[in-house]
Amino acid sequence: MSQKFAHLEAERIVIGFYDHDIHGVEGVPADAVEITDETHRELLDGQSAGKIMSVDEQGGAVLLDPPPPTDEQLAAGARSQRDALLFDTDWVTTRQSEVKPPPLSQAEYFAVLAYRQALRDVPQQAGFPQSINWPVAPEAVPVPHNKK
């Protein structure tokens, strides 16, 4: 069995693996840490479960929880979700203006417009992006045929 190594960054987070059989002795960085096959397997299994791979001073596997998303990341995700919900209603507003007579009643159409405005206002909610009160689509917004 060949010897495995974990290459670590300054904070002991694994940034790569090396193996003598694949990389040769010269191909392994001098600061790489020798690890067992079991540690290698534990690290990969942990990463598959969403953990961050690290190695302790003795070469043992240490699996860390990833840091929580930043407010910027949460806001970007919320805006992306909001944009998708707006996109899902674009066809309703377009159809309302193009089809005669319009498929929605005036009250239904105004409910759709109010919903779209509530989606646009999501980033102005108190607590955004940590806490979001998503508006509910009115029944006048049927699911597009390709969204079933």
What digits encode the pLDDT tens for the residues 57-116? 888 889 999 999 999 999 999 999 999 999 999 988 888 888 888 888 999 999 999 999
Give pLDDT, residue 61: 87
DSSP state for residue 138 in the 8-state scheme: P
Q: Are 70 and 126 in contact (CB under 8 A)?
A: no
Give me the DSSP letters along 116-129.
HHHHHTGGGSTTTT
Give pLDDT, residue 139: 85
Q: Are 65 and 52 in contact (CB under 8 A)?
A: yes
Strand-pairing partners, residue 60, are none
Place of tokens 């995700």: 77
> What span, in angstroms and rounded, lies between the C-alpha atoms of 105 and 32?
69
